[in-house]
């Protein structure tokens, strides 16, 4: 679509419509006032009817002298002489007497005279210019004698020049007010639009800077708390989050490089040592081999964690779901950790009911969750500490597994973040900071929850809740029922 600025759109869509409305209103107003003035002039010239005039002239009789006397007397006694002029016209359309006293030349044409004679009311109105150039409105009323003979007419005239002058002044006033109103609308509208467009431009510039990698860019001086203010706050927040995530990424790269280097150094070191000593020291060879194997296993675990994390992030994690017994998986993991706990001088207690806990899940992923939690418990518990694993079925619907250790614990400020990717509360212990993030995703995928409570220096409690098959079936059944309703 063609680019069109907001200002241009506003001018086209709003200002132009307002301009049209203003023009229509101004013209209508002018026409109303003009009609009012012309109406008043018309009312003035229609002061007397044909019958009234007839009755006056009848009083003087139908003779020529009677007509002339009546005409003179009528003009002399005419009371509205200051606003209106009167001509008395004889039956041959000649002006006999005028209220001003000045004679009117015979060739002055009484344009409406013929119309008045023919009209049923005996009068006709004409608007036009006199030979002198003056614009007038004239009303000619004919009169007849009692015997029905046509006697002549009286022409009432008002000047329209003064009215027209007033109307011109009025038109200028209306035009000035309309122009003023339009100018005010234009200026205030443009100022308002500029107050929106300029910050939007600034937001665009800042967003471009952020996109270009300047994560410190922010919009600081938008003064109002409105939709644009909210947008600015969101952009600033986005920049903060991006910069946080950038920092996290850098931290992660440095942590992970460090984590990878440690086992690699051990493997390389022991490889070189074994190469040097050859077959001379079988005990040393065995020890070296053990370390190489355990460090390779650790490396492998770390790479697997990273791959899982990347699969989860891109939504490519594959779950091979089947009907399993959660407690059987927990048994396996608990027993495989007994030895390691023992070697670390940690007491591992395992209490689980000997009943089946069926569920639909990926057994290796569920095991991965248990292994990760127990691995952390061992990593963060000193020699002499205890780890307790207990499991119970609640409401026949869910399995609740609690892993409790008496280890280092987690500081309250770190606790809300430890399930986040790359977050490490303790940098002195080896780890990538993604184990719990992956566990949380796996548990969530299976419809469960993972909660962590901890007291720094006292220990940590991780509670994993997983829905059992009955609960899932029941939920499905309820869903189907509600869909059928
Ligand atoms: P890591 O690979 O670093 O262990 P995790 O995601 O598994 O990554 O754990 C995140 C952080 O949570 C750890 O760095 C550690 O600080 C804290 N943590 C997890 N489990 C425990 C625990 N049982 N005791 C103390 N701290 C723990």
Mean pLDDT of successive 10-residue stretches along the chain, which has 485 residues: 86 92 96 95 88 84 80 83 86 87 80 90 92 91 86 92 94 96 94 89 91 87 86 91 86 82 92 90 92 92 86 88 95 93 95 91 95 94 96 92 95 90 74 86 95 95 92 61 66
CATH number of the structural domain 322-476? 3.30.565.10
Report the alpha-carbon distance of residue 142 to residue 269 in Å, rounded.
Answer: 135
405 CB within 6 A, ligand 1: yes
**pLDDT for position 485:** 63
* 425 Cα: distance to centroid of ligand 1 (angstroms): 7
**pLDDT for position 64:** 77
What is the pTM (predicted TM-score) of this model? 0.56
**pLDDT for position 452:** 96
Of 138, 136, 174, the closest CA to residue 32 belongs to 174
Contact between 324 and 361 under an 8 Å Cβ cutoff? The reply is: yes
**pLDDT for position 135:** 93
What fold, for 227-314? Helix Hairpins (1.10.287)
**pLDDT for position 369:** 96
* 436 Cα: distance to centroid of ligand 1 (angstroms): 7
439 CB within 6 A, ligand 1: no
Please report which residue ranges of 95-160 form alpha helices under DSSP H.
113-118
Report the alpha-carbon distance of residue 389 to residue 351 in Å, rounded.
Answer: 6
Contact between 377 and 386 under an 8 Å Cβ cutoff? The reply is: no
70 CB within 6 A, ligand 1: no
> What CATH architecture applies to the domain 47-159?
2-Layer Sandwich (3.30)
**pLDDT for position 483:** 66
**pLDDT for position 144:** 87
């Amino acid at each position: 679509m063609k680019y069109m600025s907001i200002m241009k759109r506003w001018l086209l869509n709003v200002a132009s419509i307002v301009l049209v409305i203003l023009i229509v209103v101004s013209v209508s107003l002018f026409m109303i006032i003009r009609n009012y003035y012309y109406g008043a002039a018309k009312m003035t010239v229609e002061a007397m009817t044909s019958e009234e005039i007839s009755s006056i002239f009848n009083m003087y009789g139908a003779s020529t002298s009677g007509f002339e006397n009546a005409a003179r007397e009528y003009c002399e006694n005419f009371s509205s002489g200051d606003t209106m002029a009167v001509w008395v016209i004889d039956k041959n359309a000649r002006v006999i007497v005028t209220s001003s006293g000045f004679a009117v030349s015979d060739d002055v044409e009484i344009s409406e005279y013929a119309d008045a004679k023919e009209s049923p009311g005996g009068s006709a109105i004409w608007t036009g210019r006199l030979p002198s150039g003056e614009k007038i409105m004239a009303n000619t009323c004919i009169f007849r004698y009692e015997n029905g003979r046509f006697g002549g007419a009286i022409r009432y005239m008002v000047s329209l020049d003064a009215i027209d002058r007033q109307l011109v002044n009025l038109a200028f006033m209306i035009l000035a007010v309309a122009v003023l109103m339009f100018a005010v609308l234009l200026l205030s509208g443009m100022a308002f639009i500029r107050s929106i467009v300029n910050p939007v431009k600034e937001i665009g510039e800042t967003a471009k800077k952020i996109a270009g990698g300047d994560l410190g860019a922010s919009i600081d001086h938008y003064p109002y708390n409105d939709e644009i203010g909210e947008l600015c706050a969101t952009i600033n927040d986005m920049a903060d989050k991006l910069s946080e995530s950038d920092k996290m990424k850098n931290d992660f790269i440095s942590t992970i490089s460090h984590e990878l280097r440690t086992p690699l150094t051990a493997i390389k070191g022991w490889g070189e040592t074994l190469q040097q000593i050859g077959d001379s020291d079988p005990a040393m060879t065995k020890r070296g081999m053990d370390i190489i194997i355990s460090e390779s296993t650790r490396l492998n675990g770390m790479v697997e964690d990273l791959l899982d994390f990347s699969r989860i992030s891109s939504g490519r994690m594959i779950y091979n779901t089947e009907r399993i017994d959660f407690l059987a998986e927990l048994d396996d993991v608990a027993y495989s950790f007994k030895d390691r706990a023992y070697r670390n001088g940690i007491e591992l207690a395992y209490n689980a009911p000997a009943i089946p806990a069926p569920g639909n899940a990926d057994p290796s992923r569920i095991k991965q969750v248990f292994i990760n939690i127990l691995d952390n418990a061992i990593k963060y518990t000193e020699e002499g500490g205890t780890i307790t694993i207990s499991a119970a079925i609640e409401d026949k619907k869910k399995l609740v597994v609690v892993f409790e250790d008496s280890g280092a614990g987690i500081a309250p400020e770190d606790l809300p973040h430890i399930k986040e990717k790359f977050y490490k509360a303790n940098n002195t212990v080896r780890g990538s900071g993604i184990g719990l993030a992956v566990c949380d995703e796996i548990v969530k995928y299976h419809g469960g929850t993972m909660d962590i409570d901890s007291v720094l220096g006292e220990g940590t409690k991780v509670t994993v809740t997983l829905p059992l098959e009955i609960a899932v079936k029941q939920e499905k059944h309820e869903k189907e029922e509600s869909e059928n309703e």
